[in-house]
Structure 1
């Protein structure tokens, strides 16, 4: 199985996690919503597959380029 890492494009907060480990996601679907400078930014799946890992908890501070989620396809 191929693994795709979703990385944060910004420094901010993991505001809302939309999916759990084991959920199926489609390419382009929001996996979580990030918050940075009072803006909500969807973190979209770049591949269809199953969420294998979520590396942050809702409300956690995140850094730019931090791996937030792994999708197996």
Structure 2
């Protein structure tokens, strides 16, 4: 079942640290958001494989927007 990693607040995407196919560990940083000149790391709450990266550097996101989708079973599709 896919795991959707979402933005906790409205912000700008400062840096995307993963790409589809990457293995990620629990608590690994996936994306760094920027709001009010503060960097806010977005981390994985579970290990898995990156299926999709919706966030793109320089774009704006709203609270609840999906940033990255992970597969928790090692499947990539």
TM-score tier after normalising by the smaller chain length: over 0.9
TM-score of the two chains, using structure 1 as the length reference: 0.94
1: CA distance between counterparts of 2:58 and 2:45? 23
Match of 1:60 in 2: 59
Q: Equivalences for 1:23-62 in 2 at 5 Å? A: 23-62=22-61
2: CA distance between counterparts of 1:56 and 1:6? 10
CA contact (8 A) 2:16 2:55 kept: no
Q: Which digits, 9 at most, give the CA deviation of each residue in 1:6-37, with x for residues without a partner?
A: 01001111100011111000010000100011
1: CA distance between counterparts of 2:53 and 2:70? 9
TM-score of the two chains, using structure 2 as the length reference: 0.89
SS at match of 1:69: strand
SS at match of 2:51: strand
Alignment gaps of 5+ in structure 2: 73-77
- Compute the RMSD of aligned alpha carbons: 0.7
CA contact (8 A) 1:22 1:50 kept: yes
